[in-house]
Structure 1
Amino acid sequence: MRCFGHTIQLCIKPCLKIPAIAKLTSRARKLVGHFKHSTTITAEMRKRQKLLGLRPNELIQGVVTRWNSTQLMLERLCEQRRVITDVMLDTTVTKKSDTHMLLKDHEWDYLLEISAVLKQMSHVTTYMCLKKDVSASVMLPIVHGLLKNT
């Protein structure tokens, strides 16, 4: 029954190619890239994480070909939203020409939703891959739960 985890992966890839989702995840990747390529902005992010009492987690760069890395990237972005927004709006750290990369409120909301759905899929895929033999008595509740929750 290993094919069930693979089937989930085959279902997720086309969903991430939906134009609105692809555009939003692309914007998220660019925002992460902006932080990853600037030591100044990364240092400012760490400083603000400490001030706000947040975990000093780095942003994760998602890879287009691995949907679970996209999920991790979105989850981390949403976790660090306040710090990212503060840094991007601070003109002493961020160039005015780069502020267009900051996501709008509704985009953050969509990222949170996409991340939550992908996280559920990731949990199911991980569970299914860990099990040698998955019976229908296990698969049916999982599929039902996915359909109900997503």
Structure 2
Amino acid sequence: MNERGFLGVTAHFLQNEEMCMFYLATRALNERHTAEYISETLLDILDNWNISQSKICAVVTDNASSMLAAIRTSIGEKKHLPCFAHTINLVVGETLKLPSVKTAIFKVREIVHWIKNSVVQPDKLKKIQMQNNIPEGSILKLVADVKTRWNSAFFMLERFLHLRRVISEIVIESVSAPDMPTAVEMETLNQLTALLKPFEYVTREASGQKYVTISKIIPMINCLSTKLNSITPVLPIVKECKEVLLRELTKRYGLIECNDHAAIATLLDPRFKNLHFQDPAACGQAIQKLKSMIYEQQSSPSSEEDASSSVTQEYDFWKYHKELVHGHKKK
């Protein structure tokens, strides 16, 4: 509301086998948000808390180019992990920009704001629901969307579609009411919400604070793509939405299996292991990286063990078998 920029830094760590989170700082950014300025501010916050970079496993940020460059110069590119929820927001955002979709959503948003900003219309909304034998505790209100949270648009559309008959009664009685979406637009929104339902689920699933989420990224992307491909839209515009979603998923998550943080976390999660890896080479690379981490943690091995370890890493007799397993895992 003050039209000022801020940089918030949060620390996540394990203590006594419990996941902990603390806010380290919220700094007002008084200069242009360049990578150098953000980097200096972040390093100053870490210095104030006496946190050495060797203790930092990963840094999670949004996908802004200035943030990416700031982490690359201050902490290191390999320690950066884009925020999963923010990236999903960008993927869905591209779909909501399509002209036909944008027009239909605009009409819904106008009606929602018209009703919510009135003193009379919310009472009518409640009264009509009660006349339809809806109990007092089950009366529903309309939901307004927030620009930076795509799932708020999903909730707005879902609630609007659920109450569309009630809303129609209110709109048709007022000459000042905005235009209702047409029948085609209504069906477009209906099919679109079905298409976006899996995205809403993964957004909530990835927003946990007291349970591990990084190991779910690769499995969720795989399940998300599978779920999308199983949905068959009827309207051409919704078919285009599906194509955009699949394209954006590939664009933004096509190399997620090559990310050491996500790949190793997935391998170590007993629920997933290597089941959701689509690229055998990326899976093998993550396994070798994990082995190297284990070797580094162990006491110094003998020279013979060193030799056998290096041979094992270079020569993988079972490589073809692993490729077959990955190719036929559905069977």
TM-score grouping bracket, smaller chain normalisation:
0.7 to 0.9
Q: Secondary structure at the match of 2:125?
A: helix
Unaligned ranges ≥5, structure 2: 1-80, 232-241, 243-331
1:3 & 1:61 partners in 2: Cα distance? Answer: 24
Cross-structure match for 1:83 = 166
1:30 shift after superposition: 0.2
Instruction: Report the structure, 1 or 2, having the larger strand content.
Output: 2
Percent identity, aligned pairs only, is 27
Cross-structure match for 1:50 = 130
After TM superposition, the structure 1 stretch with the greater mean CA deviation from structure 2, 2-11 or 64-73, is 2-11
1:126 shift after superposition: 2.1
User: Closer, same or farther in 2 for the Cα pair 1:19/1:137, shift >3 Å?
Assistant: closer
1:138 shift after superposition: 5.7
Q: Residue 215 of structure 2 aligns to which amino acid in structure 1?
A: D
Cross-structure match for 1:74 = 157
User: Closer, same or farther in 2 for the Cα pair 1:138/1:77, shift >3 Å?
Assistant: closer
Instruction: Report the structure, 1 or 2, having the larger helix content.
Output: 1
Q: Secondary structure at the match of 2:160?
A: helix
Deviations 1:60-115 (A, max 9, x none): 1112332111000000100101100111123xxx2x242x5222222221121222
Q: Secondary structure at the match of 1:84?
A: helix
After TM superposition, the structure 1 stretch with the greater mean CA deviation from structure 2, 4-13 or 55-64, is 4-13
Cross-structure match for 2:98 = 18
Q: Do structure 1's residue 123 and structure 2's residue 201 form an aligned pair?
A: yes
The TM-score with structure 2 as length reference comes to 0.40
Deviations 1:12-40 (A, max 9, x none): 11111111111111111001011011111
Cα pair 1:2 1:129 within 8 Å, conserved = no
Matches within 5 A, 1:99-114: 100-114=178-192
- Matched residues, number: 145
Larger Rg: 2
The TM-score with structure 1 as length reference comes to 0.82
1:45 & 1:137 partners in 2: Cα distance? Answer: 42
User: Closer, same or farther in 2 for the Cα pair 1:147/1:125, shift >3 Å?
Assistant: farther
1:125 shift after superposition: 2.3
Q: Which structure is richer in relative contact order (CA contacts within 8 A, separation 6 or more)?
A: 1
Q: Do structure 1's residue 145 and structure 2's residue 227 form an aligned pair?
A: yes
User: Closer, same or farther in 2 for the Cα pair 1:86/1:135, shift >3 Å?
Assistant: closer
Q: Secondary structure at the match of 2:216?
A: coil
2:182 & 2:220 partners in 1: Cα distance? Answer: 40
Cross-structure match for 2:89 = 9
1:25 & 1:136 partners in 2: Cα distance? Answer: 31
Cα pair 1:32 1:61 within 8 Å, conserved = yes
Unaligned ranges ≥5, structure 1: none
1:4 shift after superposition: 4.6
RMSD of the alignment, in Å?
2.3
2:202 & 2:114 partners in 1: Cα distance? Answer: 32
User: Closer, same or farther in 2 for the Cα pair 1:139/1:30, shift >3 Å?
Assistant: closer
1:53 & 1:89 partners in 2: Cα distance? Answer: 22
Q: Do structure 1's residue 60 and structure 2's residue 143 form an aligned pair?
A: yes
